[in-house]
Structure 1
Amino acid sequence: MMPRNRPLSRLLMLLALVMSATGCVPAQTRWLAPQSPEIPPLPTEARQGPLPSICSPTCSAALSIELKRLRALQTVPASRD
């Protein structure tokens, strides 16, 4: 009678182990989707002011093109000559 009862006791011990391990996991955090972080608005000191009247649109466009070109140069690795 003892050999027949042994698999049942092992099954019950395994079931108790699994139940106790899964009982420690908080159920709320497993199924909630991650929330995206909120970006706070810029303070007034950090905002860019209006363009002065002496700036022409072509000058601003040329500066924008030059800045894009310079940014691209920063990402190119230097040659090892």
Structure 2
Amino acid sequence: MINDLYISSSQFKVIDGNGEMASTYPASTTGSPQPTPIGAKSVGCQCAYGLNNASSEITVNVEVYGNKYKKYEAVFKLPVS
């Protein structure tokens, strides 16, 4: 059974420490999202973003839609090292 929730970089809004939106960046990454059965994990998927400003923290807003257009939202504040 395949889960009906798919998350890709288009659902991520990355904001730098100055409040500016970041864009995906053409970098060498490993792993790609793949259909994953309920209860399993897709490990190692990556996506690169380029920040306009040096930042010690970024904000990542995630918005995805599941079955019957149910909206799921989350906000993460993440350190940049």
TM-score, shorter chain, exceeding 0.5: no
Higher RCO structure, 1 or 2 (CA under 8 Å, sep 6+): 2
Comparing both structures, which one devotes a greater share of its residues to strand?
Answer: 2
Comparing both structures, which one devotes a greater share of its residues to helix?
Answer: 1
Q: TM-score range by the shorter chain?
A: under 0.3
- Please give the TM-score of this superposition, normalised by the length of structure 2: 0.19
